[in-house]
Amino acid sequence: MKINNFIVLVLDSFGIGEMADVSKVRPQDKGSNTVLHLMENKEAKYWNNLEKLGLFNALGNDKYKNKYSKTATYGKSELKHFGADTFFGHQEIIGTRPKEPIKMKFSEVIDEVENDLERNNFKVNRYKKNNLELLVVNKSIFIGDNMETDLGQAINVVGALDISGFDNIKKVGNIVRKHVKVPRVIAFGGSDVVYSDLEANVITKDDYIGVDAPNSGVYKKNYHCVHIGYGVEPTVQLPYILNKIDIKTYLYGKVADICYNPNDLFYPNVDTDLVFMDLIHNLKSNKKGFHFVNIQETDLSGHDQNPEKYINIVNKSDVYIGGLIKLLGKDDLLIVMADHGNDPTNGSSKHSRENVPILIYNSKISNIQKPNYIGLRKTMADVGATGAEFYGTKLENGTSFLKELKL
């Protein structure tokens, strides 16, 4: 059987405008539009390949330098998952039907987590601020609420990597996972960070307490991370289904930390250059199959509220996308998309609930001399379903748009 490449490239947080339900479910995201507000910034933008793929067709705005494509096959998608979340966004893309998350505060389980950690020979202390408490393990790992996403949706286990080591951070994360029902426990750390950096950035809001991770510097050097999910069933997802028919899955960037892969082919870099280089190396090495890629530095720029940095990461990505297109065979399929928004101009370091672009490339459809709009999809799982049909199989969730591509 001839195996072709199905490539999904996620520019993390590259949303194209608030969803219709924002005023009801996330009023704080009213007016958010990541791509549009980046376009309004004066920083120079070199997005020629994204333009050809139909980014501005999907955005519905071409009043700036970049214009509508006359040959693009494109669409956009709503988020089926609640909120605007990287973990659930990627689970949705590969075929999960998201369930409403179970919210909780870390304070609800702090006693039992503390006891379990001590049973596992960790030294545990409590840190108190504004009458709220979090846990500090081995004077290097802080456990508290995630203050970057919707409050109550995740627990952070954030460590000074040089002191604690990533193995200990992961061990602590797995112990926490046993006791909480939030969608994600995120265990991560970075180099050149010490106890005082984490302590100085403990913040509180309402009844939640955690470390302001972006401000602590933990993302800046040698960032390591694993997302430990709750209630995600990998057997309905594209990598599992493809493995049953001997199609391999390759996971790159942040997606390697958050999605199940039965083939154990992981390339978990954060640096944009390294992520693209891993992908390009594998394509040149004729490693065929499903390639699922996350470019995380766009998201980190949104959290930092730094539109100039965001634009420069997109500039870099656009060049790589152009090189990637040249490597594709005539039957390979590339989809460039996002998982939610993270508007770096809206005054919030959190994700924004936005529609996402779906930009599709294949050498055959790129020669069609008029745009082909595949519509507003109701779930990003349609991408996973399309990948399944591409390889002659089927997912439980999502509706394939393969036939709409007019291959």
Domain 6-99+231-405 belongs to what topology?
Alkaline Phosphatase, subunit A (3.40.720)
Q: Does pLDDT of 100 surpass 80?
A: no
State the number of CA atoms in the 13 A half-sphere of 264 facing the CB.
0
pLDDT, tens only, 207-253? 999 999 999 999 999 999 888 877 678 999 999 999 999 999 999 99
What are the domain boundaries of the chain?
A: 6-99+231-405, 106-229
Query: pLDDT-based confidence at 148, cuts 50/70/90?
Result: confident
pLDDT, tens only, 284-305? 999 999 999 999 999 999 999 9
Start-to-end Cα distance in the chain = 19
Q: What Cα–Cα distance (Å) separates residue 162 from each residue in 56, 143, 202? A: 43, 17, 20
Rounded to a whole number, what is the largest CA-CA distance in the chain?
66
What's the predicted TM-score (pTM) here?
A: 0.78
Q: Where are the alpha helices (DSSP H) in 194-296?
A: 195-199, 213-216, 238-243, 255-258, 272-284
CB 189 within 8 A of CB 166: yes
